[in-house]
Amino acid sequence: MFKIKNADFVISAVKKNQYPQTGLPEVAFVGRSNVGKSSIINALTNRRKLAKVSQTPGKTRLINFFIINNNEFYLVDLPGYGYAKVSKAEKESWGKTIETYLKGREELKRVILLVDSRHKPTADDIQMHEWIKFYGYDEVIIATKSDKLSNNEQKKSEKVIRETLKLTKEDKLYFFSSLNKKGKDELVDKLFCDINSNVIDGEVTSN
């Protein structure tokens, strides 16, 4: 089972020439500004303050790179989107920052799209899902704040998320709570165990 032993902040970036140029694989996290992205990154990496949890949604405007397990891969925290109380120009700027990163980033192996398990995915969530698919990245969807739902509510939520995003049975969707961290080790393994492998003709081979 894959384990995250250590995680450290490396750099914040906006432009491509500021991204790390090491060639290491990357896994990016993206979601609405109030979806709990920083909390889930901190929970999965066992670092309470690795990603800064802001009391002001929409504050993160930069792409933050964190190195995992001493140069094994980068975990990438993309800016939150969809916050209503910012100008149209700011929204467009964040969108451009995210799309610039997604466009032709060879090191990017997987994108983790976070959606709020308590609500139907928004138009911004749908657009982000379509962007990820358009650029051809492997996608995993995590429904956050699942501790707020009963088992029946979670089943209903899964149905709504899958229908709204038009997911197939093969599309990966997991529920997680940064509060109770139930199933954390299993989720870490599912998200990161094969990052240093190449998939060739359906077979996984290690680098």
27-76 pLDDT per residue, tens: 999 999 889 999 999 999 999 889 876 544 444 578 999 999 999 999 99
Higher pLDDT, 59 or 140: 140
Higher pLDDT, 61 or 133: 133
Q: State the amino acid at position 41 in one-letter form.
A: I
Angle between helix axes 37-45 and 184-192 (nearest 10 degrees) is 90
Higher pLDDT, 109 or 204: 109
The pLDDT > 90 percentage for the chain reads 71
Confidence of residue 191 (pLDDT cuts 50, 70, 90): very high
Strands (E) across 14-78 are located at 26-31, 63-68, 73-77
pLDDT value for 204: 37
SS3 93: helix
- Global pTM? 0.88
Q: State the amino acid at position 47 in one-letter form.
A: R
C-alpha 13/C-alpha 165 separation (Å) is: 29
Sequence-ordered list of residues with C-beta below 8 angstroms from that of 197, at least 6 positions apart, any chain: 204, 205, 206, 207
CB of 35 closer than 8 Å to CB of 24:
no
Q: What is the DSSP letter of 17?
A: G
Q: Which domains does the chain have, with CATH numbers?
A: 7-198 (3.40.50.300)
144-182: pLDDT as tens digits: 999 999 999 999 999 999 999 999 999 999 999 999 999
CB count in 10 Å sphere of residue 151 = 7
Is the pLDDT confidence value at 135 over 60?
Answer: yes
Mean of the pLDDT values across residues 173-198? 92
pLDDT value for 207: 41
CB of 20 closer than 8 Å to CB of 65:
yes
C-alpha 53/C-alpha 62 separation (Å) is: 14
pLDDT value for 52: 75
86-132: pLDDT as tens digits: 555 555 566 788 888 999 899 999 999 999 999 999 999 999 999 99
pLDDT value for 34: 86
Look at residues 107, 110, 83 and name the one whose alpha carbon lies nearest to residue 95: 83
CB of 61 closer than 8 Å to CB of 97:
yes
pLDDT value for 115: 97
pLDDT value for 87: 54
